Amino acid sequence: MAWSRRAPFVVGVIALIALLGAGALVLRMRSANTPANDLGARLIFAEFSTNADRVYIAPATDPAQRTTITTIDHVAEWGINPAIAPAGTTVAYTVLPTTTTNPRADSPAELWTLDVATGAKVRLAGDADLRVSPVFDAKGTQLVYRSSASGGKQSLIRIDLPAGTRRPLYEAETAFGMFPVGFSQGTLVFATLSSTGTDFFSVLGGAPPTMLFHASDQLARDWRISPSGDALAYLAPVISAERVAYRLHVAKLTGGATSPTRLGNGDTEQYGSAWRPNGDAVTVGQQPAANGYASAQTLPVANGSSTTLTPPPRGFDQPLGWSTDGTALAARSFDGTSSAAPGRETTIVIDAGQRRVVSGSGDIIYFGWMPAGATNK
């Protein structure tokens, strides 16, 4: 069995988990590589093959000029699931090791970090949940992952990377799930799903969690914390004119009571949520109009005007993340008409008004971007 990357557009818990995994787990194949020497915006990504995923770095100006960093072995047909964003040159991922017998989505996975500047890998845990992306703190010194046991018990576990120690932050019995989101002022922010919808909490080791706000009576998705940790963006269902569409909301996490605000006009679907590096705006995809295509749109959190990016010739984009210098956006692009009929998928980079395909014979797994000026081996 494998996970489909198109599952983000299926309403349901399994679809939500697949979306949050950012690098969903599907059957993939490898491609060739050539050196990259551009030190501008550089994309970190992997390409799936049946027994191993190969990790690359490539310049936004020419994704085909990729440099191989390493190969990650895994049990046949199950790919890696990366952290939502890197910490400097370090990425994290969960993986089912090659020794896994009778692999399933809930089989215990290993948690690893990879320094893409040196190629060094470190195994951190063997009880991770493959379906849930780990998250770094802003300094890259803390990493949180979810561990799930039989019977519905789930644990959010923090690893102190410099010290190599680990500590459970919160444990609960749940039929739906809880998901690490990111850090705000040193505390972990996590989401919970239940029959009453989606709620966000914060927790600091040794203390009970604090509820931040109720996000939706339904299942919210695509949650992303701002670069400074002071705000949270997510998509939640909105009912308008007898239709339901996922729309962008932003909630402040600091400076007083949390009150989510809906961003953008209209009542059609929006896709993905990618913060601008300075945290002043969020980029989302838009449902195609009658002309058959729609541009991704960057919406200011406070003052300012929205801007649109170069559109696809057909279909719509689901933003994944901006480069650290704010010059390039990685996105999944679909040539269909909506989430109900997404069509074919490609991974692209939008840079200087150009749309460049990250090609490969296998599925592309997005990790994030190299910091500006960083070098690799």
Question: HSE-up of 101 (CA within 13 Å, CB side)?
Answer: 0
* Strands laid side by side in the 67-73 sheet: 67-73, 52-59, 42-48, 364-369
Can you give the pTM of this predicted structure? 0.89
- Options 3.40.50.720, 3.40.50.620, 2.120.10.30, 3.40.50.300; CATH of 7-369: 2.120.10.30
Asked if the model's pLDDT at residue 5 lies above 60, the reply is no
- What is the spatial distance between Cα 117 and Cα 235, in angstroms, rounded to a whole number? 34
Q: Which of 287, 288, 293, 366 is nearest to 331 (CA)?
A: 366
- Per-residue model confidence (pLDDT) at position 240: 78
Average pLDDT taken over every residue of the chain? 89
Tens digits of per-residue pLDDT, 159-190? 999 999 999 999 999 989 999 999 999 999 99
- What is the spatial distance between Cα 6 and Cα 24, in angstroms, rounded to a whole number? 9
- Per-residue model confidence (pLDDT) at position 374: 84
